[in-house]
Every structure is written in C-alpha cells, then in structure tokens.
Structure 1
Amino acid sequence: MGKKGKKEKKVKGAEKTAAKMEKKVSKRSKREEEDLEALIAEFQNLDAKKTQVVETTCPPPSPRLSASLSAHPEKDELILFGGEFFNGKKTYLYNDLYFYNIKKNCWVKSEIPNPPPPRCSHQAVVVPQGGGQLWVFGGEFASPNGEQFYHYKDLWVLHLATHTWENIKAPGGPSGRSGHRMVLSKKQLLVFGGFHESTRDFIYYNDVYSFSLDTFSWSRLAPSGTAPSPRSACQMTPTPDGTGVIIYGGYSKVRVKKDVDKGTIHSDMFLLKREGKDGQEKWSWSRVSPSGSKPPPRSGFSLAVGPAGRAVLFGGVCDEEEEESLEGDFYNDLYLYDTVKNRWFPGLLRVSKAEPASDLTLPKSHCSKHGINDFQLHKNKYWQMY
C-alpha cells in the first residue's frame, strides 16, 4: 500500500512539474508567436487571393525536410505537403501540395485555394471516407532567421475527391506542438507526444488525444499503466488487429544546467491498447520487449506498415552531443518489425534476376536534418531509383 501511494505521488508530481513547465514555456513564447502571427497572416492573405484549383505537371519538389508524404487511399499516388529548407542564411517554410503518380513516374503540383499556412514537422494521415481525405494537424513555423518559432494546434482536412481544404475548428484538442505523431485507428485519429520550443525554453509531451471522425470532436485519453516518457520524433504504427498502436523510439532533451541541454535518444517500445466498445473504451499502456536483431538507437527515422503485419524502418541519425558540438552517425539501413511475433530482423535486399547486383542502388543516408529531393521506391524486394 505504501509503495503504491509513493508511486501515485511520484506520477502526480511529474504531472504538476510538466504543467508548470508548459505554463512557463507558453508565457515566454507568447510574444515570439505574436510576432510570427503577422508573418503567417501575410502568407494567408496571399493564398486567399487564389480562387481556382490549378494543377501543373512539374519537376520533383525542391529539397526540403520535415514534410509529410502520404499514400493516397484509392489511387497509386503519394501526397507531399509542406516542409522547410535552410540554405545556410535563410529558413523557408512551405505549404505547397504535390501528387506523385507511381505508375507514370511524374509529379503534379496542385494549388488549392485556402490551404493551411506554411509549416513543417506536422503530421498527416489519409482516410478512405468521403472519396479520400488527408488530415493535417499541428507543426511549426519559423522566422526567416530560424530563431523564433510558432507552434500550430490547428486541424485541417483536404478532401481529395473535390480538391478542397477545410479548417476543422473543434475545441479540446492538443496544445500547439511539432514532432508529434498521428495515426488512424479505427475511426479515430490518435495524436501522441511532440514538443513546444521557444528561444529559451522547451517542453516535451507524452499525452494522447483522440479525434473522432464520426463526431468531429477531440478527447484527451487517460490510459492506465506506465506511459512512455515525454518525447518527439518517435514512430507510431497501428497494430494489425486494429486494437491499438505501437510506439517506438524518439528523442527528448532536458536542461542539465543554465543554457546547457542534454539530448536522449529513446529505443524503448510501448503498446497503447484499446479495450471495450465505442463510447465505453478504456485504454492502457504496456511496455513491449521485442526479440531479434534490434536497430541501433536513432532518431529521425521513417517507419511504414508493410504486408503481413510487418513494419519497415529505414534510416535515421544517432547524435553525439557535447556542450558546444554536435556530431551524428547517419543510417541508410533497413529493419523490419513483425508485430505478430514481436520480433525485429534486418531487411536484407534481394537482387532481381533481371538486374545485376552491381546496379543495385541504396538510398543515401537520410535524416530529418537535410533537405533532400531524391526519390526512391522500395518494391519487388529491391530498391528502385526514380
């Protein structure tokens, strides 16, 4: 009984500390965000002058990072939205929209009136209902000098059948953030984690919110069990049976002394499981301990759900941080996680009989710190360069 009481006090204490830190960050960043709101409004005024949908066949999009790339729910197309680029002097934020036709190997830029304002590090999820929809939540906007940040808490939907953007104004959603994760689970969008940063302060989150695609309403979940520590840049994937989601890895930092922060790369894995029926759902956290050949610790990697309940992990970076320096090991390796067997194993590339081994090309080492616009598809068990 005593141990349980101490544990509960510890959890409540952590929640109070997080709430105080969020209030502190919010207060200090308010002025920064007010400055950037005027700049964002200018972009929106320019977009408001567009009244027609214009589609243009184009070269590949310009180099960028922290954009979203989603698979169309009904067509052999990929949808690219937003992102940022730093040329060494100035930071550029985008809200442009591209469609990549896989069969035709071509890009189309789609200019649709009243889009979300420019952003990066947001999350996008496609759903099949209504002829196909692309849902976008959160993200950040940065000043041209890259020293001030605005964190969005808005929710948008792109109706793919009619090519129209819609801003969904529903109360009770997550606070402004970037680096979070969002997935579709049954008829809900689940949002986990992320961070909010100002010039002097930052806070990382481990809260979970659900947006109902039936009622268009937000709710904050209160799962039982021990949650993952606060983090951003993790990956989240639905379980094959649709009863929950798996969260792996991520990054966070803490202030060890004035003006000195220490980063942590997480390599743990958790299951957020749903029990009960709609309207009376209960959620619980549990830690997952997979077997097999686990990927080395990293952040900034990508993760996609493949066939037979397997998730495919690619790339990332492992940073070595000192007080005044930052070095990183970049990866272009491939790992698969079997969600049914709870096991990791390395993805070994097989050469097609029609293609000599010497012609097999791996993608470059990628992570979220470089704006790269090369494009490759992993299909037929070997990499293809387009």
Structure 2
Amino acid sequence: MGRKGKKEKKVKGAEKTAAKMEKKVSKRSRKEEEDLEALIAEFQLLDAKKTQVVESTCPPPPPRLHASLCAHPEKDELILFGGEYFNGKKTFLYNDLFFYNIKKNTWVKSEIPSPPPRRCAHQAVVVPQGGGQMWVFGGEFASPDGEQFYHYKDLWVLHLNTHTWEQIKAPGAPSGRSGHRMVLSKRQLLVFGGFHESARDYIYYNDIYAFNLDTFTWSRLTPSGTGPLPRSACQMTPTLDGTGVIIYGGYSKSRAKKDVDKGTIHSDMFLLKREGKDEQEKWSWTRVSSSGVKPPPRTGFSMGLGPTGRALLFGGVCDEEDEETLQGDFFNDLYLYDFTKNRWFPGQLKRGKSEKKKRRRGKKGVEEGGQMEESPQESSEEPQQPTEIVKEIVTEDGTVMTIKEVIPAAQAAAEESEEEEEEEEEEEGAAAAPKVEPCPRSNAMVTVKHGKLYLYGGMFEVGDRQFTLNDFYCLDLQKLEQWEVLVQMDPKTQEWLEESESEDEGDEEEAKGGEDDDDDDDEESSEEESDEEEGDEHPPVKPGESLADYQSRTEAYWQGVARTNMGPDAKDKKVQKVGLAMAKVFFEDQA
C-alpha cells in the first residue's frame, strides 16, 4: 500500500488537514526545501572520510523497506544493502551493507570506503565473475519530509573478493528511476520498467535496457510484438533455458482528474525472448496466458526462483481506494508458478498433513478408531467458505497491531480440522506445536540460496499507521514443510510519530526526541490540559485576527512543526521561513 507517490486526499481530521497543508507548503515554498543533490553530496563527503574497510559483528539490521537482498555467488552468505525507513514524520535513507552468515546465523556490518549514495527502491544482481560481484542500478533518494525525490541512474559494482565499491560510468544508461527490475540473463543485466516522480508529476516506464558485462556498454532493446504497459513493482525472473525473462504483475497510476490519481494493479504476464547471437541478436515480446489457480490481484508481492523450475510468490497487498480513503488487504499466502507447465497453483505447506498423521496415530492408542469415525461426518458437511483469522501483536508503545489473514476454503478446512485436533490433544495433555509463518505483509525482501527461500522484513498498515518489519524467515523450497524463524519481530523496533501526537506533546517533547512510555503519557496529558481551548487540531485563527498577528502568536508552534518535518540538521533560518509559510497556508485555509 503506497505511501510513496500517493497524493493525500482532503478528509476530516487534523492529521489529514496537516498532511494536505504540508503538501501545499512543499509546493509554495520550494526554494526553502533542502536541495537534494546538495544533501546527497553532504552524505558522500561523510562517506569519503572512511579510508579502510571496517567489519563488525552486529545485531540484525534495523527495520527498513525497499532494500536489496542477494545471495552471495561464492559463499554461504546473504547481502543486504540500502533501503529506507519512515517513522510517520521523517524518512531515513541508508547505504549500509550487511552480510548474513547462513551457517552461523550471524550478521556482519561492512563499512567500505566510497559506497554508492544512500538509496532505496534500487535493484541489485550478483554474478560469479571475479570472485563474486554485486551490481546495483538506480533507486531513489527522498527528502526527510518525503515530499521530494531524486532518482538515480548510476551503476555500481561491489567486488566481493576485495570488498571495494566501483562506479561504472557507461553512456546510454536508462534514465533515472526507481521501482524497476533487473535480472541477469546470460552475460547481460536486463533492466525493465520503473517510475520517476517529481513534486508535480510522475511517469512510468516500460522500456528495456541491457548492460553487457563483457564490454561494459548499455543498449536499449527494441523487441518486436506488444509488451507490457508502463509499470513499476513487477517481478521479473529469467527463464529456465536462459533465453529470456518472464515479467509478471506490477503497479501504475494515472491522473483521473485534477489532484486525483487512480492506481492500477497489473496481473498480466509477458515473455521477453532472445533469438540469435551477438550482432544478430533479436528480442520479442509475447503475452503469456497461464493456467491453474492464479494469485488474486495484488501489488508489493515478492518472488523467488526455486531449484525445481518453479517460482514462488509470497504476500503482497490489494488496495481498495476512492477519492478520500485507501484501504488494503495484506497477504501472507504462497503461490507457485511452474515454468514448464505454464501453470499456477497454491503453495500448501506439508507440515500440517504430516503432523496430523502423527496425532492420529497417537490418538489411536488412546481411543481406537476415534478419528476415523469423525471423517464421514465431516465429509458430509457443506463446503466451507474462506476463513478470516485475526492476530494481535502488542508493540513497545502499547499499540495493538491487528493483522487480518484470509485463508482459502480448502486450507481453512484443513487448518480448522487441525485446530480441533490440537484442542483435543491439549485436553489429553499433549503439547501442540504452534504454526510458524510470516504475518501478512507487502514488499518483503527475498532471495534463494541452496534451494531455500530467505524472507526479510516488509511492511503492513493498520489504519494510518505503517509497521516496518525486520523479522527474518527461511523456507525449504524442495520440502515446503514449514517456515523457520531466524529473527523474530521485535516490538521495541516499532516507532510511529504521528503529527497529532507530537502536537499534543508540544515543542519540548519534540526537542527531546521522545521519552519512555510513562513520560510520554504524563507530558501528553499535561499538554492536553493546557491546550483545552485549542483542541486537538492546529491553533485556530481568532475572529478578526490578521495574518501577521496569527503568525506572531503561533510562531513557536509552527516552528516546532517545521523542525520536526525538516529534521534536527536544518538551519534555524530555514526552519523559521518554513514555519511562517505553514502558518500562512493554515491561516488562508481557515479564511
């Protein structure tokens, strides 16, 4: 569900009013905004101070989205690079690099001189040449308030044997973009799609580029046939014979009317196929009509290529939106696509069946034939409808996350039967193993190593709050028995700073950057008592009050809001100007 690039709608409530107002400020006060290229340059100057490689064992990486997760081509390691984190107020971009040791189940942070600038929504591909390389292309950098974006079109390679970064400057590269896809096909990196967004407009792509790993040159491909519509966030995987790639799904949006965008979830599939060699090489698009049980429409799903000629699709979200609201149903289901048969089918884990057999044998010793007598009765019942399961998780700040999962009828019947058996087994004093699986989410980062799918993080939303995860799972794609938890979700990592909460807590709380939960409650209650006349929204305009008087009276308040938006490193003069502009926008909206 997209915070990225989605225009806020005017609805009731102080939070929506604040979001709309801040968008207006971003447009009207563009000169006061941080110059993104200058900001990127400042970060690069900080990175330039690193003169040697420093590696240190560390805890699992903190929560993030739109990072890249790759399998080391030579070692039993996974590589995590970049990403972003949004805490409700501010966007943080990363260019840090982590290595996960599969055998030891440990993380190492590697600080390498002259890395690529901070980014998210880029693409990374590993190749075995030269002792192992990881190639990174594109991505985006966002301003702290998340209103402005800089899209990269640079190409980098991480030499894994020497732990050095190198920027590859080759002409003819794709335009700056994020949300694109890149895969290795023979000796070429293929880049497809993506989007570019500015403060006023956006564009989606359906072009295809190839980077030759032997000649270090870019070329734009011109395939014959009709290809996919422009889109981002699709999934692209090479075919089994290496002659092409499969592209599935994706997302795009278009202008429905002034200030209203309409999102489109794509569920189509295309084959991009190579014919001929070298200078005689030609490419063609073909639309693929797959059979079987296809995944319901969704975006933000993840896909990994298994060892048996099947691709596994996990999770995602289906948004239902109108002009004023946006709601999404998140998934944690599995679907498998068989390349040979061109067929989809649900990915049912085998753990439930094997354990049920064990439980039945155990019950047989206590009550001979008891389980078998129930089967005819169960089979005579009417077909079951899809079942909705609700889970609750309590975060560090006391927020209860309610996660809804919809299970298909067949799976629901199996799980209901399993739950009944577990309840009976508990009554008999036997311990039932809990079901282990990732919670519903979108934009999880996945990769495959030694036939196992590794899944890191992702996000889901509850109301207006976004939860960015850093849990870590593993699934054997050959056995398909059960998920293995490598890192559990830590509720302490869940931070959300909503505008309405910060305003109630006041400028003093913003300056401190937050206290523990008890202090938050005390300060919030005291601020609410002192601000009873103002209520929960921004300071109101008094009858007959001029703009100058209003700005003077509420100067401290609006500077606090501006400081929160721009971050602690912004200059006081800029914060003062933006605060005055925000007050002016609110004053004019109330007039």
TM-score, normalised by the number of residues in structure 2: 0.59
Q: Does 1:134 align with 2:231?
A: no
Instruction: Supply the RMSD in Å over aligned alpha carbons.
Output: 1.8
Q: Does 1:179 align with 2:279?
A: no
2:278 paired residue number: 278
1-side partners of 2:350 and 2:58: how far apart? Answer: 33
Give the 3 Å change call, closer, same or farther, for CA 167–383 of structure 1 in structure 2.
same
Q: Judge conservation of contact 1:351–1:357 (CA < 8 Å) in 2.
A: no
1-side partners of 2:434 and 2:58: how far apart? Answer: 28
AA in 2 matched with 1:384: E
2:61 paired residue number: 61
2:370 paired residue number: none
2-side partners of 1:96 and 1:203: how far apart? Answer: 29
Q: Judge conservation of contact 1:377–1:385 (CA < 8 Å) in 2.
A: yes
Q: Judge conservation of contact 2:124–2:137 (CA < 8 Å) in 1.
A: yes
Give the 3 Å change call, closer, same or farther, for CA 130–90 of structure 1 in structure 2.
same
Name the SS of the counterpart of 1:279 in structure 2: helix
2-side partners of 1:216 and 1:106: how far apart? Answer: 35
Query: What is the deviation of 1:32?
Result: 11
2:199 paired residue number: 199
Q: Deviations over 1:21-45 (max 9, x none)?
A: xxxxxxxxx9999920000001100
Higher relative CO (Cα under 8 Å, sequence separation at least 6) belongs to: 2
2:3 paired residue number: none
2:442 paired residue number: 367
Query: What is the deviation of 1:75?
Result: 1.2
2:71 paired residue number: 71
1-side partners of 2:195 and 2:432: how far apart? Answer: 43
2-side partners of 1:216 and 1:302: how far apart? Answer: 29
Q: Deviations over 1:134-170 (max 9, x none)?
A: 0000000000000000000000000000000000000
Aligned length: 357
2-side partners of 1:280 and 1:33: how far apart? Answer: 50
Question: 1:116-265 maps to which residues of 2 (within 5 A)?
Answer: 116-265=116-265
Q: Judge conservation of contact 1:158–1:165 (CA < 8 Å) in 2.
A: yes
Query: What is the deviation of 1:74?
Result: 1.2
Q: Deviations over 1:311-365 (max 9, x none)?
A: 0110111111111221101000011100111000111112296998733301011
Q: Judge conservation of contact 1:84–1:119 (CA < 8 Å) in 2.
A: yes
1-side partners of 2:64 and 2:285: how far apart? Answer: 35
User: Percentage identity across aligned positions?
Assistant: 78
1:104 paired residue number: 104
Q: Deviations over 1:57-88 (max 9, x none)?
A: 11110000000001111111110000000111
2:82 paired residue number: 82
Q: Deviations over 1:103-141 (max 9, x none)?
A: 111111000100000000000000011111000000000
Q: Deviations over 1:170-215 (max 9, x none)?
A: 0101000000000000000000000000112000000000000000
Q: Judge conservation of contact 1:33–1:150 (CA < 8 Å) in 2.
A: no
2-side partners of 1:33 and 1:124: how far apart? Answer: 30
1-side partners of 2:70 and 2:325: how far apart? Answer: 34
AA in 2 matched with 1:106: T
Q: Judge conservation of contact 1:295–1:335 (CA < 8 Å) in 2.
A: yes
Q: Judge conservation of contact 1:48–1:114 (CA < 8 Å) in 2.
A: yes
2-side partners of 1:268 and 1:58: how far apart? Answer: 42
2-side partners of 1:123 and 1:336: how far apart? Answer: 23
Name the SS of the counterpart of 2:351 in structure 1: coil
Name the SS of the counterpart of 2:247 in structure 1: strand
Question: 1:29-44 maps to which residues of 2 (within 5 A)?
Answer: 35-44=35-44
Give the 3 Å change call, closer, same or farther, for CA 31–103 of structure 1 in structure 2.
farther
AA in 2 matched with 1:366: R
Q: Judge conservation of contact 2:34–2:143 (CA < 8 Å) in 1.
A: no
Question: 1:216-365 maps to which residues of 2 (within 5 A)?
Answer: 216-351=216-351, 358-365=433-440
Unaligned runs of 5+ in 2: 1-29, 359-430, 444-458, 460-466, 487-591
Query: What is the deviation of 1:367?
Result: 1.0
Among 372, 376, 385, the alignment partner of 2:473 is 376
Give the 3 Å change call, closer, same or farther, for CA 35–333 of structure 1 in structure 2.
same
1-side partners of 2:274 and 2:63: how far apart? Answer: 39
Q: Judge conservation of contact 1:304–1:313 (CA < 8 Å) in 2.
A: yes
Larger strand proportion of the pair:
1
2-side partners of 1:31 and 1:208: how far apart? Answer: 35
Name the SS of the counterpart of 1:130 in structure 2: helix
Moved more, 373-382 or 309-318: 373-382
Moved more, 182-191 or 356-365: 356-365
AA in 2 matched with 1:374: D
AA in 2 matched with 1:347: G
2:425 paired residue number: none
Name the SS of the counterpart of 2:51 in structure 1: coil
Larger helix proportion of the pair:
2
AA in 2 matched with 1:266: H
TM-score, normalised by the number of residues in structure 1: 0.90
1-side partners of 2:132 and 2:188: how far apart? Answer: 15
Unaligned runs of 5+ in 1: 1-29
Name the SS of the counterpart of 1:304 in structure 2: strand
Q: Judge conservation of contact 2:156–2:165 (CA < 8 Å) in 1.
A: yes
Max Rg structure = 2
2-side partners of 1:251 and 1:212: how far apart? Answer: 28
Q: Judge conservation of contact 1:193–1:207 (CA < 8 Å) in 2.
A: yes
2-side partners of 1:357 and 1:281: how far apart? Answer: 58
2-side partners of 1:177 and 1:137: how far apart? Answer: 9
